[in-house]
Structure formats: structure tokens, C-alpha cells
Amino acid sequence: MRRVIVTAAILSLSILAQGCGKGGSQKVTVLKLAHGLDITHPVHKAMVYMAERVQEKSQGRLRIDIYPNEQLGSERECIEQLQFGSLAMTKTSSSPLESFIPELAVYGLPYVFRDADHAWKVWNGEIGRRLLAAGEKVGLKGLCYYDAGARSFYTRNRPIYTPDDLKGLKIRVQKSNMALRMIEVFGASATPIDWGELYTSLQQGVVDGAENNPPSFYTSRHYEVCKYYTLDEHTRVPDVLLISTAVWKKLSPEFQQILQEAADESVPYQRQLWDEMVKKSLEEVQKAGVQIIIPDKEPFRRKAAQLYKEFEGTEVGRLAQEIQAIQ
């Protein structure tokens, strides 16, 4: 928290910094966007594309400066900075957002989506829009979703074919109550660790494995340590692009429209990059000696059913029913 406060104090001086353009004739509004991904990641590239579109649409009057690789803090720290109004934008997985927007836990329910097409029908539809707006009451406005693919297990020393193979293993998860419960239901021990610390934790045996999508497994180089990748595809947790509501309200209606349009335009671009990167990532990790396992998903689904019972009668349970009814 001390790190967050110090960073917030520094950034608050320049969050909506305005300077002169060429010849001193044009004021430029600068928004800082921080996230934890590597610059080779499709989501980072999509945000670069968005920043370029903002630059073009505003004729240089609105600019987005991007800080990747946790330069300005972890996912949670960046979310908190948005609430302070000391950071303009961030990209985060929806899982850490559960602590701020409880309804988003529905996206972390294993197998709530049948496949990628089903997930995008939800995110592009009324439910998706409703959940993007749900954070405004806590200072977090959702602009769009990015594809973060299907999350699957990867491990150091033991292949995973069924949930029983997870017993006794320590598996890294995001700081999400739903992710913690899911791992427990599957029979493993859940260990929350920040993304930037995970490589070392795997290397040193602090955890036996983790779960994530193919591009993240590849770009993080976790395949250098973990030689088994089981494509059980238990969750499809989207990435969410956020802006501080305090910062949003300071933007002119014109700049608000430009930013939203640019974010929307970056989504199909990201999805194309994502599909290409998933294929490349799986090919590259196999070349590096990783064993790709395609398991029977039914035993994992049966284990996951316990979680659905726990949420019966709750808002998350009702949302899950809505989602699964969408054809």
C-alpha cells in the first residue's frame, strides 16, 4: 500500500497533463495507461493500436502513454490507483476485479462458457455491457473486453490428465476468491502470487504449477520451467480495459467519444492477433520440449459443479444462469 500511495502522489501531478504542441499552439491531454504484460503480448499490441487511433482521431490533442511490465505496479495496485484518480487507465484480468466488482466473479466460474463464440456473445451483449458499467460506483469504468483465451494448467514435474492428478500440488492463482475456490474444488492447494513474481516462484519450487492461456504461458517463458501443459480450458476469463471514472469525467465529451471508439476498434484487432498468437505459442512451447496434453474435460466439469451449488440464490449464480441460457 505504501508503494501505491507514493506512486499515486507522483502520478497525480500529471494524470491529465496538458502541454503545448508544435509552435505552442495546441494543448495535449495525456493519459497514462499501465499494465503488467510483456510488449510482445497481443493485448499490449492492441492497446498500442488504440493509442494510435486516439492520436489520429484527436489530431494529436489526446495522447495515451503506455507503461507495460508492471512499471507502475501490480494489477491490484494499478486498479487502486485508478480509484484514487492518480492513474488514468489500466488493463486487468477480470479475476482481480472481483474484489472491487463482485458480480465479475461469474466470469471465473469454470466452464460457464461453452466455447469462445459463446463468451463473445455474452461480452458483446447486454450482460457484458452491464458488467462493464458495474464498476462505475467504485470509480472504475469499463471500456471494452480483450480476449484472454482459455486458461489451462501447466506444471513442473507432473502431467495432469484428471483433477485427481492435481492433488497435493501447489498451484499459483490470481488474487481472486473464485480462482482460489476453483483450485480447491479441483483438489490442489491454491497460492496467490503476483504475475511478475511467478517465474521465480516456479523456478524455486514455491509452487508446482500455474494456470493461464497459451500466449501468457509462452511470453512469460514459464515453459522453461514447466514442461507439462494440460489444455483442460477450465475458464475463459476476459481482460478488461478500465479508465478511472474521475479521469473520465474530466475529459470533454469529444475526447470521451474518441477514446471509446478507439477502444472498440482495438477489440477485433486484438482478437485477430490473439488467434495467431495462440497457434504460435503452442507450436513454440512444444519445440521447447513441453508436452501438450488434451484431457477429457468431463471429470473437470463434474468437479466444477460443486462451485455452482455454492452460488445458488446469489447474484453470481443468477448471472451464470443468464449466461448459460444464451445460445
- Tens digit of pLDDT at every position of the chain (327 positions): 444 444 443 444 345 555 544 445 679 999 999 999 889 889 999 999 999 999 999 999 999 999 999 999 989 999 999 999 999 999 999 998 999 999 999 999 999 999 999 999 999 999 999 999 999 999 999 999 999 999 999 999 999 999 999 999 999 998 888 999 999 999 999 999 988 899 999 999 999 999 999 999 998 999 999 999 999 999 999 999 999 999 999 999 999 999 999 999 999 999 999 999 999 999 999 999 999 999 999 999 999 999 999 999 999 999 999 999 998
Contacts of 25 (CB under 8 A, 6+ apart): none
User: What values do phi and psi take at 35, rounded to 5?
Assistant: -155, 175
- Quote the distance between the C-alpha of residue 104 and its chain's center: 12
- pTM (predicted TM-score): 0.86
CB 73 within 8 Å of CB 81: yes
Distance CA 288, CA 174 (A): 26
CA dihedral 263, 66, 34, 225 (to 10 degrees): 100
28: cell is 495535449
Beta pairing, strands 62-67 & 27-34: parallel
CA dihedral 50, 52, 57, 61 (to 10 degrees): 110
Residue 31: strand, helix, or coil = strand
178: cell is 473464485
Distance CA 106, CA 317 (A): 7
155: cell is 506444471
Distance CA 76, CA 93 (A): 10
Distance CA 125, CA 148 (A): 18
* Domains and their CATH numbers in the chain: 2-147+238-278 (3.40.190.170), 151-236+281-325 (3.40.190.170)
199: cell is 517465474
CB 235 within 8 Å of CB 95: no
Distance CA 236, CA 125 (A): 16
Distance CA 289, CA 224 (A): 9
